[in-house]
Amino acid sequence: MTTLEDRYRRLLAFYPRWHRDLYEEEMVGVLMAGADPDRSRPSLRDLADIVASAAAVHLRRTGEALAGEAWRRAAYVVLLAGTLLLAAVAQRRLVVALIVDRGHHAGVPIPVTAVDVLRPALWTLAALLALVRVRRVAVALAVASAAGEVVRVGSWYATSPTAMLRDGWLVAVAVVVAAAAGWLGRRAAWPHRPRAGVSALGLAAFVVLASGPVEVAGGGWADAGLPFVSSPGGGPVLPNQSSAALCWVTTGVLLFWAWARQDPAVRMRLLAFAAPIAAVLALIPVGFAGYLYSSSQFTSPIPLAGVQWVLLLTVPLLAFATGVVVVHRRERVQHLVRLGRAAERTGS
Task: Answer whether 19's CB lies under 8 Å from 60's CB.
Answer: no
Q: Is the pLDDT of residue 172 over 90?
A: yes
Nearest in space to 255 (alpha carbons), one of 270, 242, 235, 244? 270
pLDDT at 136: 83
Q: What CA–CA distance (Å, rounded) separates 208 from 13?
A: 49
- State yes or no: pLDDT of 124 exceeds 60: yes
pLDDT of residue 234: 41
What is the rounded distance in angstroms from the CA atom of residue 96 to the CA atom of residue 271?
A: 31
Tell me: pLDDT of 76 over 70. Answer: yes
Task: Identify the weakest region by mean pLDDT among 64-73, 199-208, 325-334.
Answer: 64-73
**88 has pLDDT over 50:** yes
For residue 303, the 8-state DSSP code is: P
Mean pLDDT of the chain: 79
Percent pLDDT > 70 in the chain is: 81
Q: For position 239, what pLDDT does the model report?
A: 45
Which is nearest to 177 in space by CA: 275, 70, 75, 63?
Answer: 75
Q: What is the pLDDT of residues 199-237, one digit of tens each?
A: 888 888 888 888 777 777 766 554 444 444 443 344 444
Residues 239 and 237: their CA atoms lie apart, in Å, by 6
Give yes or no for a cis peptide into 227 (omega within 30° of 0). Answer: yes
Q: Which residue has the higher pLDDT, 100 or 181?
A: 181
57 three-state secondary structure: helix
Q: Which helix (H) or strand (E) holds 64?
A: helix 44-66
Cα separations (Å) of 299 from 6, 191, 285, 295, 324? 61, 51, 21, 8, 43
- How confident is the model at residue 230, as a pLDDT? 40
CA–CA distances in Å: residue 106 to residues 81, 99, 148, 216: 34, 11, 31, 9
Lowest mean pLDDT among 102-116, 136-150, 204-218, 325-339: 102-116
Q: Which of 46, 59, 54, 63 is nearest to 8 (CA)?
A: 46
- Residue ranges covered by each domain of the chain: 3-35+50-63, 69-298
Cα–Cα distance measured from residue 19 to residue 286, given in angstroms and rounded to the nearest whole number: 40
What distance in Å separates the CA atoms of residue 196 and residue 134, rounded to the nearest whole number? Answer: 20
319 contacts 327 by C-beta, under 8 angstroms? no
pLDDT for 8-27, tens place per residue? 888 888 887 777 888 788 88
- Give the C-alpha separation, 128 to 75, whole Å: 16
Average pLDDT of the segment spanning 66-79: 84
Tens digit of each residue's pLDDT (9 = 90 or more) over 181-198: 887 766 556 676 676 678
**Entry pTM:** 0.76
Percent of the chain with pLDDT over 90: 18
Check if the beta carbon of residue 327 is closer than 8 Å to that of residue 269: yes
217 three-class SS: helix
What is the spatial distance between Cα 80 and Cα 228, in angstroms, rounded to a whole number? Answer: 23
| Cα 291 from Cα 164, distance rounded (Å) | 13
